[in-house]
Amino acid sequence: MDSRLRVLALLILLPRFFTLLAISSVFFTSRVIGAEGAIGVNYGMLGNNLPSPAQVISMYKAKNINYVRLFHPDTAVLAALRNSGIGVVLGTYNEDLARLASDPSFAASWVSSYVQPFAGAVSFRYINAGNEVIPGDPAANVLPAMRNLDAALKAAGISGIPVTTAVATSVLGVSYPPSQGAFSEAASPYMAPIVAYLASRGAPLLVNVYPYFAYAADAERVQLGYALLSASQSASVTDGGVTYTNMFDAIVDAAHAAVEKATGGQAVELVVSETGWPSGGGGVGATVENAAAYNNNLIRHVSGGAGTPRRPGKPVETYLFAMFNENQKPEGVEQHFGLFQPDMTEVYHVDFAASS
């Protein structure tokens, strides 16, 4: 989760979200799983006091967390994942994108270092080339890097690992109503060919989805229950005959709509590669109680298999952010997204049994 891009995402999304709130007030009512609906957890490592990789992977297994996302390749973590049965999303460093895009031999070396030695014993789900770099200066490198990594995997005789990228919701220029979701003018020149490429290969797009930031930016008008996926909240939003009772589904479906527009109607599966709620750090609504509510409600929602209003019955593979509070992230809420403290005690309880 990149703070600069998160701010950009808010600048793009919030004006439209405020419009959504104004209109939705008219419609207030009283009113898994295979891998597709899996719940995983991001394993961030921006801390100088974190447990060893072996301890962390043991925690994943003990807590019934069957999927992990790694932001960058780490051979110690990959070694700890051997024969664990845990599904792995493996990311590249953003700073490696330029070389991955321009130098096929570097992509081949990357695969030979971080995928090939582990391919028989580690269950790789996806490789994501870059995290939240679209729109931005490195954006032009994403698709060439994806192509080179895909070619390197094939040359190494490795099949069945889709190559994709992870984007923030800053790629959306229109987000309300969800059915009108579209990529921004800045993002579209990069996103349109990327999603076409993914569609041609049956690969998913990874999207980072954070209702928290929309809520925190205007807590007086954004209903907390709508952001927390609370069953007791009374707000709903009607869009083209379908009803949204939570912001998570609305954001995901806005991204679905944007992809369909960019591909001429072709569907690309979306994986929510990050989502979460801070438990502290001084931000509006950043409390242990709200964080526990969001993550537990989300697990129940995703694990129920209902999908989203635009994709009913299609579970959304989702990765919570993050495993630990990380003390080397920027001060404030960024240091408080962890489910666990660095000493491996719970910040609050999350019921992963509900996702099995």
Confirm whether 132 is a catalytic residue: yes
Give CA–CA dist 154/108, Å, rounded.
10
CA gyration radius, the chain: 19
Who's near 333: CB < 8 A, 6+ residues apart?
216, 278, 280, 281, 282, 283, 286
Closest CA to 21 of 155, 307, 220: 220
Give CA–CA dist 225/286, Å, rounded.
14
The catalytic residue among 36, 95, 269, 274 is 274
Confirm whether 36 is a catalytic residue: no
The catalytic residue among 132, 260, 269, 334 is 132
Give CA–CA dist 88/160, Å, rounded.
13
Give CA–CA dist 43/69, Å, rounded.
6
Closest CA to 54 of 84, 32, 11, 25: 84
Query: Is 30 exposed, middle or buried, given 0-12, 13-18 or 19+ CB atoms closer than 10 A?
Result: exposed
By annotation, the residues acting in catalysis are 132, 274
